[in-house]
Structure 1
Amino acid sequence: MKLSVFYEHIREAAGQSSMSLEEICTLVKSFGIDALELDADRFKAEEDSILSLITKTGLTVSCMYGFFDFGHITSSEVKEQITSFLSMARRAGASRVLVIPGFLESHETDPASREYQQCVQSMKDSVAAMCAAARPLGITVGMEDFDDSRAPFATTAQLLSFVEEIPELSCFFDTGNFLYSGEDVLEAYSRCKPYIGYVHCKDRTFEVHPGEEPKLTVDGRAMYAVPAGGGCIPMKELVTYLLKSGYDDTFVIEHFGAQDQLAYMKQSAEWLLNLRKEVLGG
């Protein structure tokens, strides 16, 4: 089992404590976490310091993620942004990228409308172009079930409409985001299983965390961040299914909004590593 965590969590942990980024990274490494998920915009602004930090601490970059607006820009802009994004991923040493291809505008939200169809098709064409550009670089492109009603890839069916139509596109399965859309995550896993190439281990709870900003579901329920295995997502079942299926790649620890990121990272890593021993032994 390989573990990764969002670099933004490390930054948040440093801000929540008196420790430096290097000290937090060293602790994270001691938890059994070896890699980072990097925001492309963050890397663009802080490339030298980030590369220096990961060299000093022995961490690697597992994935770089980027937000785009592929439904509303020109083909030349798409090409330029893809080239820049993949170039940054290579410089960071990332073997995969997560693409969030854009969001619908207010007049495009009706799936039956021509505006919706055109916007989504533009996104699909651009993601396919990214996959084609990434292939010779040895970079895998993936998409996840992004938890935003403006994302035409938030539900299982929407995500699969991209993954099934773009052969080289991988499903980056986020365990916590189907709850946002009111879907059963075990059913979503069953449908997405043939395409899963990467996993975000996100757990959630409806128990109120005072002082923490919640994420609201489509029906208005407030969800809060918890360490993996500590919430209402059937994490044990999901991770067990993945391990027994032969999935031997990275499990990404994710809990944006946590008030104690360092403690959450430690607890999530311990829970995942202990579960691996329980399921596979050794």
Structure 2
Amino acid sequence: MKLSVFYDHIREAADQTNRSLEEICTLVKSYGINAVEMDAASYESQEEMIKKLLDQAGLQVSCMYGFFDFGHEDSVEVKDRQIRSFLSMAHRSGASRVLVIPGFLNEQEMDSASNEYQECVQAMKAAVTTMCAYAKPLGITVGMEDFDALEAPFATTAQLLSFVQEITDLSCTFDTGNFLYSGEDAMEAYTACKPYIGYVHCKDRTFEVHAGETPKLTTDGRAMYAIPVGSGCIPMKDIVTDLLKSGYDDTFAIEHFGAVDQLAYMKQSAEWMLRLRTEVLEKKL
């Protein structure tokens, strides 16, 4: 089992504990986490510093993610330049995967039956198709996730699969906690997405109030809070166990944006994941 964590969590942990980034990275490595999920915008602004920091700690960039506005950028040349720049940076970082968030709908495009919606989504799909074609010679796999926002036309199972099933070489980055945002059952979503899963974000969630945290509201107004993996309402054990038994051998990315104690959450999440791996392997034996 390979574990990664979002680099933003490391930065937040440093701020929350008044420790250096170097110290947090060393601790993260000691938890059995070997890689990070890197925001392209953060990496671009501090590439040399981040590369040195990660190298010293023995951490790699597993996946780089980037936000775009492909649905509204009219210039093919601009989109092409953005895609090439993003992939080049990911390649320099050593990432073998990228996560593309191709854009969001504006108010006039929210109706899925409208021409405006269809035109925006088709523009996104065209750009992602180009990205997949450019990424392949670099040895980089492109993925998309079930992004938890009403303005994302890839938030639900059906929406995400409309991208993944139509675009050759695009894989599903399965985020365990994001389907709850849309009111969907995580196990049902997992079953539907399983044939296309190439990467996994391990995000658990709880409806119990966490003081000091800003919750994420579901589409029906329920407040969700971050929680260490395996401690919340998402069937994490069932999903991760099935993935391991099915031969999934890529990275499990630990994710809990908004946590009040990122360091403790990272440690607890890693311990739970590694303990589950041991249990699964012992049962196989």
Fold equivalence (TM over 0.5): yes
CA drift of 1:77 comes to 1.1
Q: Distance in 1 between matches of 2:235 and 2:139?
A: 33
Cα distance between partner residues in 2 of 1:51 and 1:249:
22
1:83-232 residue pairs with structure 2 within 5 A? 83-232=84-233
Q: Deviations over 1:202-243 (max 9, x none)?
A: 000000011100000000000000000000001011111111
The CA deviation at 1:33 is 0.1
1:75 Cα shift? 1.1
Residue segments in structure 1 that go unaligned for 5+ positions in a row:
none
SS of structure 2 residue aligned to 1:76: helix
Task: Return the TM-score normalized by structure 1.
Answer: 0.99
Instruction: State the 1:159 CA deviation.
Output: 0.1
Secondary structure of the 2:149 match is: coil
Q: Which amino acid aligns with 1:8?
A: D
Cα deviation for residue 248 of structure 1 reads 1.0
CA distance in structure 2 between the partners assigned to 1:4 and 1:150 by the alignment: 28
SS at match of 1:247: coil
Q: Which amino acid aligns with 1:22?
A: E
Q: CA deviation at 1:162?
A: 0.1
Cα distance in 2 for residues equivalent to 1:186 and 1:91 = 36
Distance 2:23 2:212 in 1: 26
Give the equivalent residue in structure 2 for 1:30: 30
Residue segments in structure 2 that go unaligned for 5+ positions in a row: none
Q: Does 1:47 align with 2:47?
A: yes
Number of aligned residue pairs: give it. 282
Amino acid at match of 2:53: L
Q: Deviations over 1:174-225 (max 9, x none)?
A: 0000000000110001000000000000000000011100000000000000
Aligned to 2:165, what secondary structure does the other structure show? helix
Offset at 1:18?
2.1
Correspondence 1:245-256 to 2 at 5 A: 245-256=246-257
Amino acid at match of 1:90: H
TM-score, normalisation: structure 2: 0.98
Per-residue CA distance 1:135-180 (angstroms, 9 max, x = gap): 0000000000000000000000000000000020000000000000
1:34 & 1:243 partners in 2: Cα distance? 18
Distance 2:39 2:81 in 1: 18
1:64 and 2:64 are equivalent in the alignment: yes
Runs of 4+ deviating beyond 2 Å: none
Q: Quick one: distance in 2 between partners of 1:167 and 1:72?
A: 23
- How far apart are 1:93 and its partner, in Å? 0.6
CA-based RMSD: 0.7
Identity of aligned residues (%): 73
SS of residue paired to 2:46 = helix
Q: What is the deviation of 1:55?
A: 1.1
Superposed CA offset, 1:226-272 (max 9, x none)? 00000000101111111111111100000000000000000000000
- Superposition deviation, residue 119 in structure 1: 0.2
